[in-house]
C-alpha cells in the first residue's frame, strides 16, 4: 500500500494552507483588537516643533473670583497661601461661605490667619421660599454677613434647575419672591455671582455630534433630559430677566454665561446689561480654541471680564496662564472631557491682563486690599 501519493500531498498542502491562512487571519484579528483603544486613551504626543512657554506663575498678581474651599472653617490657611504665593494669586474668593455658624467660622479663620488674602461670599437656601418670613430672614442674613465681613452673594445652579418649593414646583431664577433679595444686594454693594443652567450640550443627544459626549460618558449624571428638566433656553431667559429688572445690582455671570463658544452673542449680552460682569472659570477651553477672536473680545470688553478658575488645582492654573499670556500653539488642555481639541495662546497685552487679573475685581469688590497689587 502506497502511503504517499500526489493526491495526499495536495491534501496535506491544502490543509497547511488553510490552517496557516486561518491562523494568520485570527492572529491579525487579535492584533487589530489589541490596537483598538478608547477615545479617552488616544492622546499621542504631538510631533509639532514650536516654541513653548510653560508658565507656573501669573505675570501679575491676580484675584481668583471663582473658587471653592468647602473646609474653610478648619482649613490650614498657611499651606493654602503658600500655594497661592507660588501662583502669584494675591486673593482668593471662596464662593462657598454658606451662612450662619459656618460663615462665622470661615470669617474667623480668615481674620485670624490670613486677613487680606481671602474674600467670602454668602449662600442662601432658596427652597425655604414658602416660609412666611423667607424674605425677611434672608435680608437679615445678607445684612449680617455684610457686617461680619462677607463681600458678595453666590447663587448655585440649583436655582432654576433643581431647587423646588414646598409643593415640589421648580423655583424659577426670576421668581418675583426673590426680587427683594436681588435689590438688597444692590443696596449693600454685594456683587451676585450667579451660575445658571449648564453647558447647552448637556441637553443634546449623547451621540457623535455632541462636543461634550466624553464628559457625558464619564459623568452621566450631568445629562439633562429635555423631557424631565426645563430647557437651557428657558433657564437662561429667566436669568437675563433678573439682570434686566435689577439694573442697580452688579451681577457676575459665571462661566462666560455659557456663551464662550459664541463671543459675538456674549458681547451683545454685555452691551444689553451694563450691570453684568462675567468670568472665565471652567470655560478657558472655549477661548483657547479661537485665539484671534478671543483676543478681540478681550480688547473690546476688557473692563467686563474677571479671572476665575472654579475647582482648585494648582497645576491647572498653568494652562490658564499659558493661554492668556503666551502666543504658544497647539497644546493640551488639562482635562480631555472638557476639550479634546488643542489650545492656542491669546498673548494678551499687559494692560488687559492687569484688568483681567485684578483691576476689574478691585472695582466691584472695593474691600479687597489694593496694596497687594502694583501701583500705577
Query: In whole angstroms, what is the distance from residue 130 CA to residue 165 CA?
Result: 6
Three-state DSSP class for residue 92: strand
Cell of 64: 481668583
Extents of the domains making up the chain: 62-369
Cell of 87: 501662583
In the chain, % of residues over pLDDT 70? 95
Please report, for the chain, how many H helices and E strands are present, in that order. Answer: 13, 8
Task: Give the pLDDT confidence of 270-304 residue by residue, as tens digits.
Answer: 999 999 999 999 999 999 999 999 999 999 999 99
Q: Where are the alpha helices (DSSP H) in the chain?
A: 6-35, 77-87, 100-113, 134-148, 179-188, 213-218, 232-245, 263-272, 284-288, 291-300, 314-325, 350-354, 360-364
Whether 248 has a pLDDT exceeding 90, the answer reads: yes
The mean pLDDT of the chain is 94
Distance from chain centroid for Cα 175: 25
**Taking residues 200-221, what's their average pLDDT?**
96
The CATH number of 62-369 is: 3.20.20.140
Task: Give the pLDDT confidence of 52-102 residue by residue, as tens digits.
Answer: 999 999 999 999 999 999 999 999 999 999 999 999 999 999 999 999 999
Whether 206 has a pLDDT exceeding 90, the answer reads: yes
pTM score, two decimals? 0.90
The pair phi, psi for residue 66, each rounded to 5°, is: -135, 90
Amino acid at each position: 500500500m502506497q502511503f504517499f501519493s500526489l493526491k495526499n500531498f495536495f491534501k496535506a498542502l491544502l490543509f497547511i494552507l488553510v490552517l496557516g491562512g486561518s491562523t494568520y487571519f485570527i492572529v491579525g484579528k487579535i492584533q487589530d483588537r489589541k490596537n483598538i483603544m478608547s477615545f479617552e486613551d488616544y492622546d499621542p504626543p504631538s510631533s509639532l516643533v514650536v516654541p513653548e512657554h510653560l508658565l507656573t506663575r501669573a505675570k501679575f498678581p491676580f484675584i481668583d473670583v471663582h473658587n471653592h474651599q468647602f473646609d474653610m472653617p478648619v482649613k490650614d490657611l498657611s499651606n493654602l497661601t503658600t500655594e497661592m504665593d507660588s501662583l502669584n494669586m494675591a486673593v482668593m474668593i471662596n464662593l462657598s461661605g454658606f451662612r450662619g455658624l459656618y460663615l462665622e467660622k470661615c470669617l474667623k479663620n480668615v481674620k485670624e490667619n490670613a486677613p487680606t488674602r481671602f474674600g467670602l461670599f454668602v449662600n442662601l437656601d432658596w427652597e425655604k421660599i414658602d416660609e412666611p418670613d423667607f424674605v425677611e430672614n434672608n435680608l437679615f442674613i445678607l445684612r449680617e454677613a455684610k457686617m461680619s465681613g462677607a463681600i458678595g452673594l453666590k447663587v448655585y445652579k440649583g436655582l432654576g434647575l433643581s431647587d423646588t418649593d414646598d409643593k415640589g414646583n421648580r423655583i424659577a431664577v426670576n421668581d418675583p419672591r426673590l426680587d427683594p433679595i436681588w435689590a438688597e444686594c444692590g443696596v449693600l454693594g454685594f456683587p451676585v455671582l450667579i451660575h445658571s443652567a449648564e453647558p447647552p450640550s448637556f441637553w443634546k443627544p449623547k451621540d457623535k455630534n455632541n462636543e461634550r459626549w466624553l464628559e457625558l460618558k464619564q459623568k452621566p449624571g450631568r445629562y439633562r433630559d429635555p423631557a424631565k428638566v426645563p430647557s437651557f433656553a428657558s433657564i437662561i431667559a429667566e436669568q437675563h430677566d433678573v439682570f434686566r429688572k435689577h439694573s442697580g445690582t452688579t451681577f457676575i455671570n459665571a462661566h462666560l454665561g455659557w456663551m464662550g463658544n459664541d463671543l459675538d452673542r456674549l458681547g451683545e449680552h454685555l452691551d444689553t446689561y451694563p450691570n453684568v460682569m462675567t468670568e472665565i472659570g471652567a470655560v478657558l477651553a472655549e477661548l483657547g480654541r479661537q485665539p484671534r477672536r478671543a483676543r478681540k473680545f478681550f480688547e473690546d470688553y476688557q473692563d467686563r471680564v474677571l479671572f476665575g478658575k472654579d475647582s482648585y488645582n494648582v497645576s491647572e492654573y498653568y494652562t490658564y496662564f499659558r493661554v492668556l499670556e503666551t502666543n504658544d500653539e497647539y497644546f493640551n488642555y488639562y482635562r480631555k472631557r472638557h476639550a479634546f481639541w488643542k489650545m492656542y495662546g491669546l498673548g494678551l497685552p499687559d494692560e488687559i491682563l492687569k484688568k483681567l487679573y485684578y483691576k476689574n475685581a478691585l472695582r466691584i469688590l472695593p474691600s479687597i486690599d489694593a496694596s497687594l497689587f502694583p501701583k500705577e
